[in-house]
């Protein structure tokens, strides 16, 4: 491959030149997502897995903090959307945000259409890189629906491996390996490496159900 062709792929194909020279090492990132909720009594509690029996409640307007942790010696690749968190709110919508260590956020409809994050019930937040042992944080302000007695918060995270690649099943090309949180119910994670497009909700998520005060 000539230098000119490499340059063309880099400019027009979004290719990270470093990816061409990295060799797979069989070590993967390990994403962990933590959701910290501000309760009406002023306390903040963090959740990393499914939780449905929660003592206490949130106000109609409350704050959420999310963390993406890379609990591995393997960093992510360096490219757009290399790592991130998906959040789905049933009974509430986003009323504001502060990305802190993340770089981009977008709202998404159930049909996969991209919308503004403010007012959205589904958002994805992105980072172009997360190093080994690093933590990315973001803050969200939520407002509950008037009729909502509880809010279901669903979440998952992902990190794209810096060197290990897998065959993307639609095009047959090789793409970076996606480490997902929570893991899929299969021997290897993920079941495939592709961006799911309109099927983006099909990957597993953890759910937290939080009561809304009075």
Q: Check residue 197 and give its pLDDT.
A: 66
Q: CA separation (Å) from 197 to 41, 111, 116, 127, 149?
A: 40, 10, 18, 18, 32
pTM: 0.85
Q: Name the CA radius of gyration of the chain, rounded.
A: 18
Quick check: bond before 182 cis, omega within 30?
A: yes
- Considering only CA atoms, which of 179, 137, 180 is closest in space to residue 36? 137
Cβ-Cβ contacts under 8 Å for 20 (sequence gap 6 or more): 6
Q: Check residue 20 and give its pLDDT.
A: 52
Identify the H or E element spanning 6.
helix 3-13
Domains and CATH numbers, the chain: 26-211 (2.60.40.10)
Dihedral (Cα; 72, 31, 118, 199), 10-degree rounding = 140
Q: Check residue 203 and give its pLDDT.
A: 85
Q: CA separation (Å) from 114 to 15, 96, 105, 117, 181?
A: 24, 17, 10, 9, 23
Q: Check residue 13 and give its pLDDT.
A: 41
Mean pLDDT by 10 residues, the chain (214 residues): 38 47 76 97 96 94 98 94 97 98 95 94 97 97 96 96 82 84 69 65 91 90
- Considering only CA atoms, which of 129, 138, 142, 130 is closest in space to residue 99? 138
């Amino acid at each position: 491959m000539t230098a000119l062709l490499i340059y063309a792929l880099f400019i027009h194909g979004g290719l990270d030149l470093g990816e061409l020279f990295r060799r797979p090492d069989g070590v993967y990132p390990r994403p962990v997502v933590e959701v910290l909720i501000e309760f009406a009594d002023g306390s903040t509690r963090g959740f990393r897995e499914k939780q449905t029996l929660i003592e206490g409640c949130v106000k109609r307007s409350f704050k959420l903090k999310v963390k993406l942790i890379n609990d591995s010696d393997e960093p992510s690749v360096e490219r757009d959307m290399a790592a991130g968190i998906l959040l789905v709110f049933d009974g509430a919508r986003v009323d504001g945000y502060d990305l802190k260590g993340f770089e981009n956020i977008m709202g998404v409809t159930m049909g996969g259409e991209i919308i503004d994050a403010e007012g959205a019930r589904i958002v994805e937040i992105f980072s172009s890189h997360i190093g080994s042992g690093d933590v990315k944080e973001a803050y969200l302000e939520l407002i509950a629906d008037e009729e909502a007695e509880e809010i279901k918060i669903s979440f998952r995270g992902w990190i794209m491996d810096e060197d290990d690649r897998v065959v993307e099943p639609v095009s047959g090309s090789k793409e970076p390996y996606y480490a997902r949180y929570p893991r899929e119910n299969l021997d290897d994670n993920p079941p495939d490496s592709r961006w799911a497009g309109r099927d983006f909700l099909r990957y597993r998520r953890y759910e937290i159900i939080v009561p809304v005060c009075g």
